[in-house]
């Protein structure tokens, strides 16, 4: 019984999600639900940190190692920030968004510790299903429906391909345990197919090439507040699951080649695709594809820095999308931001430069760790592409900074824009502080892998 104590964080998130479903019964309604969710998710994050690394439970199907701990901590903490922001937002039906985000977070946390193919699949679906609803949040908008339908169809298809891969692995090895399944898989063609199929589903969740093309359409149709969650939190969990799976499925060179090719394609397509975009959601969608490429680069090198990178990506990316939710999703909407909200504008600089990978922001240390891992694995050419692409990325991130700071004849403040609430202020301060100060704390983070180890 005591071994189930490691599930306390998940239980807290589940309670919060159920409470949000019945928000109408709560005093204060939607807002209370979101605040309760933020509080419980925050508590879950603290519990994950306190519980630390433990033995696997449930017959060995759920792992509680350092990878699981870091990913669960990040998922819970990011969800807490997101719900805090929701509690202050002017969105309709906040309770639904809160409930779905919490269910998705629950799925993500389970996904990060799944050591069994079936558990992984169920956790993945639990993490993804609520995201379909979040992306289709504006039910009357045709573009939203188009985007979310694309997301739904592609996501379902890749899930089924993945399930097919799982069944092949089970057929070949007679087990669904990820560790055993991997080591038993013969290095033949069928094994390779099984492995590639199995990875496919997670690629789509990470919006990595070649399963990326749904992302820009889906994000551009969805409300920015939904994108802020869907484009970040599931990616952290996805990176953790992919790490576990890729570690086990080392079937000859095939998996590593597949990961390398996907990393290359994601970096190129994402970064060049982001360049012409005028809609911040589309731009961040492509940037997300590019960053998934860096995650895959680390995964291909077999390094857990992939998870650290996904977290370091998720924090600023979520904050930028939340700002888009407040200020408007077209690049022009940010004109004159520095006059309206100077603190937010400077926070934006920190967040975007972190995404570029400029020190002393956290993004730099993420890239340092990923490039180190990839160079150590002998992938010099990929690293050269990766560094060049990070220069390209600076070009389009600056297209967001430019209107915010240097718009000529900045338009008057639109009256209908909601002013920043204290909740959103707290969220931006927290995200910026994490982005700036994480490097100072790195010394205390034992999970950040050594370069070349």
Q: Does 391 bind another protein (CB under 8 A)?
A: yes
- Least Å distance between CB 407 and another protein? 11
Q: In sequence order, what are the residues at sequence separation of 6 or more whose Cβ sits closer than 8 angstroms to the Cβ of residue 83?
A: 16, 34, 35, 37, 38, 41, 98, 101, 102
Q: Which of 398, 421, 425, 430 binds another protein (CB under 8 A)?
A: 398
Q: Which of 356, 385, 427, 434 binds another protein (CB under 8 A)?
A: 356
Candidates 169, 51, 183, 155; CA nearest to 117 is 169
Q: Does 311 bind another protein (CB under 8 A)?
A: no
On whether the CB atoms of residues 281 and 220 are closer than 8 A, the answer is yes
Nearer to another protein, 179 or 394 (CB): 394
Sign of the Cα pseudo-torsion (129, 157, 243, 361, in order): negative
How far apart are alpha carbons 113 and 125 in whole angstroms? 15
Q: Does 39 bind another protein (CB under 8 A)?
A: no
Q: Which neighbouring-strand residues pair with 330?
A: 279
How far apart are alpha carbons 265 and 91 in whole angstroms? 36
Q: Which of 187, 257, 381, 387 binds another protein (CB under 8 A)?
A: 387
- Least Å distance between CB 238 and another protein? 24
Four-CA torsion 40, 44, 49, 54, nearest 10 degrees: 160
- Least Å distance between CB 112 and another protein? 21
On whether the CB atoms of residues 133 and 223 are closer than 8 A, the answer is no
Nearer to another protein, 54 or 376 (CB): 376
Tracing tokens 């597949």 back to the chain, one arrives at 258
Q: Which of 164, 252, 265, 376 binds another protein (CB under 8 A)?
A: 376
Nearer to another protein, 181 or 350 (CB): 350
Q: Which of 309, 371, 396, 428 binds another protein (CB under 8 A)?
A: 371
Within residues 423-452, the interface with another protein by CB under 8 A covers: 439, 442-443, 445-446, 448-452
Four-CA torsion 94, 96, 99, 104, nearest 10 degrees: -110
Contact residues: another protein, CB under 8 A: 349, 353, 356, 358-360, 364-365, 367-369, 371-372, 375-376, 383-384, 387-388, 390-391, 394-395, 398, 402, 405-406, 439, 442-443, 445-446, 448-452
């Amino acid at each position: 019984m005591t071994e189930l104590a490691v599930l306390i964080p998940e239980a807290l998130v589940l309670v919060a999600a159920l409470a949000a479903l019945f928000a109408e019964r709560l005093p204060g309604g939607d807002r209370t639900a979101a605040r309760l969710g933020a509080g419980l998710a925050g508590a879950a994050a603290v519990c994950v940190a306190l519980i630390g690394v433990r033995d696997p439970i449930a017959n060995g199907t759920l792992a509680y190692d350092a990878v699981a701990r870091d990913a669960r901590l990040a998922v819970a903490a990011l969800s807490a920030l997101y719900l805090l922001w929701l509690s202050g937002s002017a969105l309709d039906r906040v309770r639904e968004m809160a409930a779905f985000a919490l269910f998705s977070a629950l799925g993500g946390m389970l996904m990060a510790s799944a050591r069994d193919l079936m558990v992984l699949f169920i956790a993945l679906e639990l993490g993804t299903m609520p995201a379909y609803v979040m992306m289709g949040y504006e039910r009357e908008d045709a573009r939203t429906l188009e985007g979310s339908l694309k997301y739904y169809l592609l996501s379902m298809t890749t899930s089924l391909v993945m399930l097919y891969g799982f069944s092949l692995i089970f057929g070949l090895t007679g087990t669904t345990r990820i560790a055993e399944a991997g080591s038993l898989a013969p290095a033949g063609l069928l094994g390779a197919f099984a492995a590639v199929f199995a990875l496919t589903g997670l690629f789509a969740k990470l919006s990595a090439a070649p399963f990326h093309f749904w992302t820009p359409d889906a994000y551009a149709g969805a409300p920015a507040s939904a994108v802020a969650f869907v484009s970040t939190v599931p990616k952290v969990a996805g990176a953790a699951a992919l790490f576990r799976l890729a570690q086990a499925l080392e079937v000859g060179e095939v998996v590593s080649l597949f990961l390398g090719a996907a990393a290359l394609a994601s970096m190129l397509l994402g970064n060049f695709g982001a360049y012409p975009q005028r809609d911040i959601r589309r731009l961040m969608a492509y940037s997300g594809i590019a960053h998934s490429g860096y995650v895959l680069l680390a995964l291909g090198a077999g390094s857990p820095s992939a998870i650290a990178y996904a977290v370091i990506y998720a924090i600023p990316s979520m904050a930028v999308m939340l700002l888009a939710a407040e200020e408007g999703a077209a690049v022009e909407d940010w004109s004159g931001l520095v006059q309206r909200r100077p603190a937010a504008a400077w926070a934006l600089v920190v967040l975007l430069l972190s995404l570029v990978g400029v020190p002393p922001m956290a993004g730099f240390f993420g890239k340092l760790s990923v490039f180190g891992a990839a160079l150590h694995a002998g992938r010099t050419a990929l690293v050269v592409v990766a560094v060049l692409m990070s220069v390209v990325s600076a070009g389009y991130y600056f297209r967001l900074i430019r209107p915010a700071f240097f718009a000529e004849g900045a338009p008057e403040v639109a009256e209908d824009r909601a002013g920043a609430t204290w909740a959103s202020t707290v969220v931006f301060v927290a995200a910026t502080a994490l982005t700036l100060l994480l490097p100072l704390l790195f010394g205390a983070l034992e999970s950040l892998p050594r370069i070349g180890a």
